[in-house]
Amino acid sequence: MTGAARVFKALADPTRREILQILRGGERAAGEIAEQFDIAAPSISRHLSILAGAGLIESRRDANRILYSLCAAPLVETLNEFLSDVCPTQIRRRKRARKKR
């Protein structure tokens, strides 16, 4: 599976998109993330694993906790590449509009 396919697979699930929104506010412990949902902790762990596999989040250990943070660059790069392939004329229009300002 390509990197782009992993990113789009990760984004396909609403729980994973919500996790990304939670992490937009800064680093969070796995338990803090799990508290935001009415699903079992192992399910949240699976979602976190898929997001990490897509390169959208990273983790670090702090004693007995695992802290997660958002990695926006892979998301931005994947979406930009996709949009450039699908709607290149729109991107050129936006670039021209920005230059006119």
Mean pLDDT per 10-residue interval, the chain, length 101 residues = 90 97 96 94 95 96 94 91 79 70 70
Domain ranges, residue 29: 3-71
- Let me know if residue 25 belongs to a domain: yes
- Let me know if residue 86 belongs to a domain: no
- Let me know if residue 92 belongs to a domain: no
Read off the CATH number of the domain in which 20 is found: 1.10.10.10
| pTM summary value | 0.82
pLDDT of residue 88: 72
Give the total number of structural domains in the chain.
1
- Let me know if residue 79 belongs to a domain: no
Q: Are 57 and 51 in contact (CB under 8 A)?
A: yes
